[in-house]
Structure 1
Amino acid sequence: MSDPIIVQYTINAPANKVWNALTNKSEMKFWYFDILDFDLEVGKVFNFYEPGGENKYHHQCEIVEIIPNKKLKHTWSYPDFSDLKTMVTWELVLENDITLVRLTHEEIENFKDLGDGFSMENFTGGWNTIIGQSLKEYLEK
């Protein structure tokens, strides 16, 4: 088992505002993905494609744990390429109206046979861009 990817950034916003950006599909589309079938409920499956209209990678996730304003945990998979799944955990820690966002992506080795686009380095770079730029800029504007 390989080490998980851990990406964390502080965001100058209260946890409830960060939580809303993470869990409200009308806000997600501005910084993350446009996820039309997202419902914040354990057991719910949601699907999306990368932005840009290519629809190259079908992402499918299932929510496995919710602790409001603190934790969202879901699977992450590519059903067109593999039956294997990984696990993504978003954790929020509030301190003086500044929120630490910590994302942990586990079991990336499940995608090792899918090619370079699914490498640890590629996921790490993607999560850093999504959280450190897109989410941070969206919430701190």
Structure 2
Amino acid sequence: MKTSDEPIVIEECYAISQEKVWRSITDVREMRLWFFATINSFVPEIGFKTEFLVKVEDRNYTHCWEVLEVVPNEKITYTWSYAEYSGDAFVTFELSKKENQTRLKLSLTVIEDFPSDIPEFSRESCIAGWNYFLGERLKEYLEG
């Protein structure tokens, strides 16, 4: 993923309240159930930082997040980088009502290039990952 790439935008709708979707993306106990089981802590407060390790095959990915913006039940933005690799991005989750559902719009904007020689950092892999997390894991967690 490169700074020259268009932001990645993924949208999903869930047949559940906006408040419940908000809790699922900001409460660490819920995040562990559908997102990353290894998240050790998360608080939806500006300036909060966390790190947690995810292993993929023989590579370590220490996720480093810092919360930049919070509008309770509506929007949260945090940085997304890795201790072992160059690259940084802003990830924003925005919630809104759509008929009898909650619409979640995720935007990922690269602010520093990620390595191009690692498959997990390709744009296609990133899109597939977010579709998996939001379209499968979160949907199953919320509506399952």
Q: Is the partner of 2:89 in helix, strand or coil?
A: strand
The question of whether the paired residues in 1 share the 8 Å contact of 2:89 and 2:109 is answered with yes
> Deviations 1:58-90 (Å, cap 9, x if unpaired)?
1101000000111010000012112x3111000
| Aligned residues with identical type, % of pairs | 35
Q: Which residue of 1 aligns with 2:42?
A: 38
Q: Which residue of 2 aligns with 1:8?
A: 11
The TM-score, its normalising length taken from structure 1, stands at 0.90
The question of whether the paired residues in 2 share the 8 Å contact of 1:49 and 1:58 is answered with yes
Pick one of 116, 123, 129 that aligns with 1:126.
129
Q: Which amino acid aligns with 1:99?
A: T
Q: Matched residues in 1 for 2:11 and 2:55: separation? A: 23
Q: Which residue of 2 aligns with 1:60?
A: 64
Q: Is the partner of 2:73 in helix, strand or coil?
A: coil
Equivalent pairs counted in the alignment come to 140
Q: Matched residues in 2 for 1:15 and 1:51: separation? A: 32
Determine which structure has the larger strand proportion and give its number: 2
Determine which structure has the larger helix proportion and give its number: 1
Q: Is the partner of 1:130 in helix, strand or coil?
A: helix
Which runs of no fewer than 5 residues in structure 2 stay unpaired? none
Q: Which amino acid aligns with 1:80?
A: E
Q: Indicate whether 1:105 and 2:108 are aligned.
A: yes
The TM-score, its normalising length taken from structure 2, stands at 0.88
Which runs of no fewer than 5 residues in structure 1 stay unpaired? none
Q: Matched residues in 2 for 1:53 and 1:137: separation? A: 26
Q: Are residues 51 and 12 of structure 1, via their aligned partners in 2, closer, same or farther at CA, if it must alter by over 3 Å?
A: farther
1:12-91 alignment runs, 5 A limit: 12-34=15-37, 35-50=39-54, 56-82=60-86, 84-91=87-94
What RMSD, in angstroms, separates the aligned Cα atoms of the two structures? 2.0
